[in-house]
């Protein structure tokens, strides 16, 4: 079968009965009264979507994980691992949908982190986990002292959107008073609809401390047991009983709660004989110091600015799923204003230390303005190239398309966030393509002035209808597979392919339904335009639109046609004359050389590969890890020294210091479990920067600049200082993460320390740490069971006495009216006695014969070290070594590969290395590289697959349209040309090639194919009308250059408005440079290539 016959399309000038689907739609709706109603409906739906769609800074990612805490008091990590962790891991791993299991077997219990696959609904995941654990409790040895599991689900909505730091400039305002104010605000803020958890960080809770004096207790012959029992038994009220008296029921209740320190002081705990032989009561105050105040702090929060550092507490407020972050944040701040001088005294300051609602609103408003400007710019483009009325038609079509797309995005379940809005801005250029192509063709037909307006519009729409439909679906075919990228990046970037694809379908419908109606209403006065109104039209080719299509196509073009002369010079040498074949070979060679040079740029590091560049945020964190066993007071001193330096940094507005507790977590902290940093040697600094409008340096530059000074301050204290920036996308445990596997714990630890040394020896690798805490001293009291039994002292009494004496134990509570939390009554030894274990062991317990026996006679002391936790990943033991990358390259991948090369070097460590699959760790030392590498590999792998699927889909679509296996290859040939623009563009602007850059390249495939379709379709129509093949090839560039250049410029203009964004500038660079170079080349390469392939069929 002759392939040229298979690629021809119906003639352009035909009655409605012969029109294609696009022409029939245009004919039906150009005069229909329902058309303006449909347009109005689209606008109203868009307005509705803008009002009701929740605004957030980040897209909602349906990722669920849960922390399972299983207590095993007194057990070593090895005992916890074998008796608790492994059985629990086996049970949890049976759940379908579990992606990864991490476990930490540590002294006194296990923590198991169950991470579910992305996309599994939170409720479904948690129900599965609860059912699985509680139906298998028999597999945990509860009789050995293993406690009941505590399951804490975690998700993106657990991240607070607002944090308020309460502090005072007056030294008389204590942390206890600030805590009291914060607790009052907790209840008030929780009343705001849509809020979730409201919690206070760094609170100093009131405690009624009962500090026993051992000497006085021994003097009165008392024991800890007697005192603790007295506290418990004297704080009890019976359930109400009833009696009938005087024909009326009366409720009778016995007892009363302890309500004050005086009540506790007056408790009689024993009776003794005084010197006169009289019985006298022994009050609790006789043997103990009783004070109602904050306990000795093991955590603290401080607020700092350029002036000083003040005690503080922080309120963290979350929101419920699906709620509008902007509205919730505004209501919180309004409520704080309302309760000033009511719940908040005038000497207490309230500083907003986080407001994700404000940042989300600012980001959304900025992007909406950019969307408006991008739309306006495209309309201006049409105005200058086609005219005012045509620009008005295109502008209205864009607005209707965008409004309808916003509604479709809301209906799909997306929120208004930076990704979904970037998707719309990115889509502006391709959403307007359909309207531009249709309006330009109507404009061209009007300029020829050979048809009535009623007949002209359907014919003009139908002429470009088939290629427009095909081109629209090719763009969708290129974009939509990206929605199926796996991992966290899939749902994170999903608004781009889904919103763009929905927008393309809507724009196609608007182009065929609304645009003809608008053209008839707004362009009608231009019905009698002269043929010379358009500089490059069919009249330039001596073509008319009378009854004979053949006459239209066969006419000789005018010699003064500038575009025709240009394309004759550009394309003629490749299709005309004896040297044409040699010229085509030269053109092909030059293109291959350019492609080779462009692809060499990443290999030579002139273009740096990175998952996502860091955004210009208003915050970052400084994590401080002191040596194991450091008291909170020392941690606090180091934090304050670091804070005073931060106060001198010009761009720092304020900061909060968290000693022994965590700062309000963000998404990064949620994934990395920073909320579990609650031991005394750990610190956290939340650094808040001035608004980006008021500073010259971006947050990344500031963070990089302060790292060295902070580490210098921390070095004398042996503090490990890490600067943690907010990641631009889904977070990971660490940018550089090496998991060390091996057959034994000793081998793993040795290998991990060797790897840590390698990290330290690699340039630009910073913030290095190892998940192996230094050994901390441990004194274990060994109880002689035989002696204890013979003395009649229960084993449990000895354990309880020592634990209570040293650590304190809450025996009961003060119960008062209007109290949010009951005040614990904490029994312990006085501070001076606790410092000396010998005094603790001199305490006495009652034996079986009623005599008091010193604990020291029943125990021995064994001094040792606390064992390091044992970490599993998917039930395989490993040790983690983490780091970050700074410096010129600023991409963790380069540091990771450099260290991987060092390991494989002849004098290297020689460890077995894995980059994708987890090793077994049974026979040899192995390193699995994770962190940003894993998410980069998975994302680019899936995008590559999506790219391939898109290419296959485009090929099949084009085969179906042109009924040829060869023509689609010609049409798709310009796709590789995009790299000629993309890579040099990144190199020229010094930008990283990132995941958004890859998205831009994928989108380019559909955009460029659209141009090819328009060119090939035109050549086929001309040859079908009898125009010589060589002439038709040259005419295609001259006639179709205008709509192709218009749509290319529109896409470039849309991309121009996101080029200043730190994250998405890669996408903009890909589109701008890729479209610019590939479009210019396509206008020459496609006609020439089509001629070379198809000339035999037209001989």
pLDDT at position 528 is: 45
Domain membership of residue 439 as a residue range = 13-58+364-527
Average confidence (pLDDT) over 73-78: 89
At 171-193, the pLDDT tens digits run 888 888 899 899 989 989 999 99
Average pLDDT over residues 405-433: 84
pLDDT tens, position by position, 1062-1078: 888 888 999 999 999 98
Cα–Cα distance between 97 and 496 in angstroms, integer?
26
pLDDT of residue 789: 85
Checking if the pLDDT of 694 tops 50, the result is yes
Question: Whose CA is closest to 915, among 906, 901, 491?
Answer: 901
pLDDT value for 122: 87
Q: Centre a 10 Å sphere on the Cβ of residue 1088 and count the other Cβ atoms it contains.
A: 22
Q: What is the pLDDT of residue 541?
A: 32
Domain count across the chain: 3
- Rounded Cα distance, 1070 and 1064, in Å: 10
Task: Output helix, strand, coil percentages for the chain, rounded to the nearest 5.
Answer: 55, 20, 30
Q: Is 426:493 a contact under the CB 8 Å cutoff? A: no
DSSP state of 918: P
Burial-class residue 764 by CB neighbours within 10 Å (0-12, 13-18, 19+).
middle
For the beta carbon of residue 430, count every other beta carbon within 10 angstroms: 26
What confidence tier does 777 reach under pLDDT thresholds 50, 70, 90? Answer: confident
993, 767, 987: which is closest to 886 by C-alpha? 767
Q: Looking at the structure, tell me whether residues 479 and 556 fall in a common domain.
A: no
Res 164: pLDDT: 96
- Shared domain for 495 and 585, answered yes or no, is no
Is residue 631 in a domain?
A: no
Same domain, 449 and 402: yes
CA nearest neighbour of 676 among 217, 67, 87: 67
pLDDT band at 166 (very low <50, low <70, confident <90, very high): very high
Diameter of the chain measured on Cα atoms: 137
Per the document, the length of the chain is 1099
Other beta carbons within 10 Å of 229: 13
Q: Which of 59, 61, 106 has the alpha carbon at shortest distance from 418?
A: 59
Q: Say yes or no: 496 and 573 in one domain.
A: no
The predicted pLDDT at position 557 comes to 41
Both tokens assigned to 625: 């890890």
Percent of the chain with pLDDT over 70: 94
Report the 3 state secondary structure along 178-238.
HHHHHHHHHHHHHCCCCEEEEEEECCCCEEEEEEECHHHHHHCCCCHHHHHHHHHHCCCCC
Q: What is the pLDDT of residues 270-295, one digit of tens each?
A: 888 777 777 888 888 888 888 888 77
Whole-angstrom distance, CA of residue 1004 vs CA of residue 831: 72
pLDDT of residue 7: 35
**Distance between CA 642 and CA 652 in Å, rounded?**
13
Which residues on adjacent β-strands are paired with residue 873?
A: 102, 876
pLDDT recorded at residue 368: 83
For the ranges 228-242, 503-517, 1008-1022, 1049-1063, which has the lowest average pLDDT? 228-242
Q: What is the pLDDT of residue 143?
A: 77
Domain ends where: 122, 154, 186?
154
Q: How confident is the model at residue 913 (pLDDT cuts 50, 70, 90)?
A: very high
Give the domain-ending residue among 511, 527, 543. Answer: 527
Q: Residue 688's beta-bridge partner residues? A: 619, 654
Assess whether 503 and 558 both reside in one domain: no
- Tell me how far apart the alpha carbons of residues 225 and 846 are, in angstroms, rounded to a whole number: 9
74: closest CA among 89, 60, 84, 86?
Answer: 84
* Backbone dihedral region for residue 869 (phi beyond 0: left; psi -120 to 50: alpha; all else: beta): beta
pLDDT (tens digit per residue) in 595-638 = 999 999 998 889 988 888 888 889 999 999 999 889 999 999 99
Q: Which has more pLDDT, 906 or 475? A: 475
Kindly state whether residue 513 falls inside one of the protein's structural domains.
yes
> Considering the chain, what is the average pLDDT of its residues?
85
1058 in Cβ contact with 1046 (< 8 Å): no
- Between 289-293, 553-557, 664-668, the lowest mean confidence (pLDDT) is in 553-557
Enclosing H/E stretch for 739: strand 736-741
Tell me which of 154, 185, 206 is where a domain ends.
154
Looking at residue 130, what is its pLDDT?
Answer: 93
Least confident of 355-359, 450-454, 539-543: 539-543
Mean predicted confidence (pLDDT) in 155-176 = 90
Q: Is the pLDDT of residue 115 over 50?
A: yes
116 with 53, same domain: the answer is no
Average pLDDT rounded to a whole number, residues 1040-1046? 84
pLDDT tier for residue 551 given thresholds of 50, 70 and 90 = very low
Q: Tell whether 415 is covered by a domain.
A: yes
43 and 80, same domain (yes or no): no
Q: With beta carbons less than 8 A apart as the criterion, state whether 42 and 400 touch.
A: yes
Task: Give strand ranges (E) for 837-875.
Answer: 844-846, 852-854, 859-865, 870-873
329 band by pLDDT with thresholds 50, 70 and 90: very high
Q: Are 58 and 667 in contact (CB under 8 A)?
A: yes
Q: What is the mean pLDDT of residues 330-357?
A: 93
Same domain flag for 462 and 594:
no
How many whole angstroms separate alpha carbon 519 and alpha carbon 457? 8
Considering the domain architecture, whether residues 378 and 515 belong to the same structural domain is answered as: yes
Same domain, 370 and 498: yes
Burial of 593 (0-12, 13-18, 19+ CB in 10 A): exposed
How many helices, marked H, and strands, marked E, lie in the chain? 37, 31
Report if residue 99 sits inside a domain: yes
479, 1004 contact by CB (below 8 A): no
How far CA 771 is from CA of 15, 288, 801, 882, 1067, in Å, comes to: 77, 43, 34, 8, 37
CATH number where 1037 lies = 1.20.1640.10
Integer Cα distance of 755 and 765 in angstroms: 13
The pLDDT, as a whole number, for residue 314 is 95
How confident is the model over 703-729, as pLDDT tens digits? 999 999 999 999 999 999 999 998 887
Cα separation, 333 vs 189, in Å, equals: 10
The label of the residue with tokens 């024991």 reads 223
pLDDT at 260: 85
Together in a domain, 51 and 80: no
pLDDT in tens, 980-1030: 999 999 999 988 998 889 888 888 888 888 888 888 888 888 888 888 888
Q: What percent of the chain has pLDDT over 90?
A: 33
pLDDT of residue 471: 82
pLDDT of residue 17: 52
At residue 548, does pLDDT exceed 50? Answer: no
Residue given tokens 């963000």 in the structure block:
666
pLDDT of residue 657: 96
Return the closest-CA partner of residue 186 out of 171, 173, 205: 205
Q: Does residue 483 surpass a pLDDT of 60?
A: yes
For helices 224-233 and 795-807, angle between their N-to-C axes, nearest 10 degrees: 80
Q: Is residue 406 part of a domain?
A: yes
Per-residue pLDDT tens digits for 24-62: 898 889 888 899 999 999 999 999 998 888 888 777 777
* CATH code for the domain of 147: 3.30.70.1430
In a domain, 92, yes or no: yes
> What does the pLDDT read at residue 686?
96
Whether residue 552 has pLDDT greater than 60: no
Would the pTM of this model clear 0.75, i.e. be above it? Answer: yes
* One domain, residues 1054 and 1093: yes
User: Hey, what are 595's tokens?
Assistant: 């492609």
């Amino acid at each position: 079968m002759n392939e040229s016959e298979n690629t021809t399309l119906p003639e352009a000038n035909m009655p409605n009965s012969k029109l294609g689907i696009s022409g029939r739609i245009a004919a039906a709706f150009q005069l229909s009264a329902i058309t303006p109603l449909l347009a109005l409906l689209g606008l109203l739906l868009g307005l509705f979507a803008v009002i009701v769609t929740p605004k957030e800074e980040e897209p909602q990612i349906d990722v669920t994980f849960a922390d399972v805490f299983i207590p095993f008091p007194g057990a070593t990590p090895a005992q916890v691992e074998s008796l608790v962790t492994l059985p629990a891991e086996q049970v949890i791993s049976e759940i379908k949908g579990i992606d990864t299991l991490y476990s930490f077997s540590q002294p006194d219990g296990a923590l198991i982190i169950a991470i579910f696959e992305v996309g599994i609904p939170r409720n479904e995941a948690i129900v599965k986990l609860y059912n699985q654990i509680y139906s298998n409790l028999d597999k945990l040895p509860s009789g050995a002292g293993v406690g009941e599991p505590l399951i804490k689900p975690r998700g993106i909505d657990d991240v607070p959107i607002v944090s308020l730091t309460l502090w005072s400039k007056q030294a008389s305002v204590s942390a206890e008073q600030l805590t009291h104010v914060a607790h009052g605000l907790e209840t008030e803020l929780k009343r705001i609809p849509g809020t979730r958890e409201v919690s206070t960080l760094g609170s100093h809770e009131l405690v009624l401390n009962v500090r026993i004096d051992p000497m006085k207790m021994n003097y009165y012959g008392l024991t800890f047991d007697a005192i603790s029992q007295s506290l418990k038994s004297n704080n009890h009220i019976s359930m109400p009983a009833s009696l009938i008296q005087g024909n009326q029921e009366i409720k009778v209740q016995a007892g009363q709660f302890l309500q004050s320190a005086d009540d506790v002081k007056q408790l009689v705990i024993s009776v003794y004989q005084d010197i006169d032989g009289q019985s006298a009561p022994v009050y609790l105050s006789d043997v103990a110091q009783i004070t109602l105040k904050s306990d000795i702090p093991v955590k603290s929060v401080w607020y700092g600015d350029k002036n000083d550092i003040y005690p503080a507490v922080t309120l963290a407020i979350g929101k419920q799923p699906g709620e509008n972050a902007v509205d919730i944040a505004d209501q919180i701040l309004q409520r704080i204003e309302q309760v000033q001088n009511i719940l908040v005294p005038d000497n207490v300051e309230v500083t907003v230390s986080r407001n994700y609602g404000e940042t989300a609103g600012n980001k959304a408003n900025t992007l909406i303005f950019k969307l408006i400007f991008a739309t306006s710019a495209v309309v201006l483009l049409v105005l200058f190239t086609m005219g005012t009325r045509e620009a008005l038609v295109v502008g209205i079509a864009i607005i209707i398309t965008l409004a309808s797309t916003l509604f479709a995005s809301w209906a799909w379940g997306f929120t208004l966030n930076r990704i979904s809005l970037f998707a719309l801005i990115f889509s502006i250029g391709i959403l307007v393509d359909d309207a531009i192509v249709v309006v330009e063709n109507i404009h061209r037909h009007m300029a020829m002035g050979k048809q009535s307006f009623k007949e002209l519009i359907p014919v003009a729409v139908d002429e470009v209808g088939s290629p427009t439909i095909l081109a629209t679906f090719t763009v969708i075919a290129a974009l939509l597979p990206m929605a199926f990228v796996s991992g966290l990046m899939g749902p994170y970037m999903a608004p781009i392919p889904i919103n763009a694809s929905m927008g393309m379908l809507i724009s196609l419908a608007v182009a065929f339904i609304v645009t003809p109606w608008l053209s008839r209403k707004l362009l009608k006065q231009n019905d009698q335009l002269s043929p010379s109104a358009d500089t490059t039209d069919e009249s330039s080719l001596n073509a008319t639109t009378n009854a004979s299509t053949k006459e239209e196509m066969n006419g000789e073009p005018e010699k003064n046609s500038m575009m025709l002369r240009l394309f004759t010079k550009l394309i003629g040498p490749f299709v005309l004359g004896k040297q044409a074949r040699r010229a085509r070979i030269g053109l092909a060679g030059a293109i291959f050389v350019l492609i080779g040079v462009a692809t060499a740029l990443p290999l030579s590091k002139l273009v740096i590969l990175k998952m996502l560049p860091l955004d210009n945020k208003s915050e970052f964190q400084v994590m401080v890890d002191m040596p194991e066993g450091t008291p909170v007071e020392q941690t606090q001193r180091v934090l304050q020294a670091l804070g005073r330096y931060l106060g001198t940094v010009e761009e720092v507005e304020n900061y909060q210091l968290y000693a022994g507790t965590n700062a309000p977590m963000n998404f990064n902290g949620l994934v990395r479990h920073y909320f579990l940093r609650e031991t005394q040697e750990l610190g956290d600094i939340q650094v808040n920067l001035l608004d980006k409008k008021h500073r010259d340096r971006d947050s990344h530059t500031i963070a990089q600049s302060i790292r060295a000074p902070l580490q210098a301050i921390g070095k004398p204290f042996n503090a490990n200082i890490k600067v943690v920036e907010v990641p631009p996308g889904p977070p990971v445990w660490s940018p550089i993460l090496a998991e060390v596997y091996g057959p034994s714990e000793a081998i793993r630890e040795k290998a991990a320390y060797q790897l840590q040394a390698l990290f330290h020896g690699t340039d630009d690798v910073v913030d290095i740490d190892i998940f192996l805490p230094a050994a901390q001293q441990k004194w274990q009291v060994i109880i002689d069971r035989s002696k204890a039994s013979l003395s009649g002292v229960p084993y449990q009494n000895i354990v309880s006495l020592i634990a209570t004496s040293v650590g304190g134990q809450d025996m009961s509570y003060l119960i008062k009216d209007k109290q949010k939390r009951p005040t614990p009554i904490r029994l312990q030894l006085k501070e001076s006695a606790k410092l000396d274990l010998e005094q603790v062991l001199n305490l006495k317990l009652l034996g079986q014969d009623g005599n008091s026996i010193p604990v020291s006679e029943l125990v021995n002391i064994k001094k040792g070290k606390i064992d390091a936790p044992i970490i599993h990943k998917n039930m395989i033991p490993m040790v983690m070594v983490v780091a970050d990358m700074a410096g010129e390259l600023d991409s963790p991948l380069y540091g990771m590969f450099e260290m991987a090369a060092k390991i494989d070097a002849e004098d290297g460590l020689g460890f077995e290395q894995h980059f994708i699959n987890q090793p077994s760790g049974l026979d040899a030392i192995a390193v699995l590289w994770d962190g940003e590498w894993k998410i980069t590999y998975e994302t680019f792998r899936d995008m590559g697959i999506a790219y391939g699927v898109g290419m296959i889909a485009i090929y099949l679509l084009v085969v179906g349209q042109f009924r040829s296996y060869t023509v689609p290859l010609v049409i798709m040939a310009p796709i590789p040309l995009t790299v000629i623009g993309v890579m040099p563009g990144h190199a020229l602007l010094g930008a990283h090639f990132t995941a958004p850059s890859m998205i831009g390249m994928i989108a380019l495939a559909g955009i460029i194919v659209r141009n090819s379709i328009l060119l090939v379709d035109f050549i086929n129509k001309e040859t079908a009308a009898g125009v010589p093949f060589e002439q038709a090839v040259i005419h295609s560039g001259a006639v179709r250059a205008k709509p192709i250049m218009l749509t290319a410029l529109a896409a470039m203009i849309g991309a121009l408005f996101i080029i200043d964004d730190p994250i998405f500038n890669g996408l903009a660079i890909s589109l701008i440079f890729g479209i610019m170079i590939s479009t210019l080349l396509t206008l020459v390469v496609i006609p020439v290539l089509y001629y070379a392939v198809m000339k035999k069929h037209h001989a």
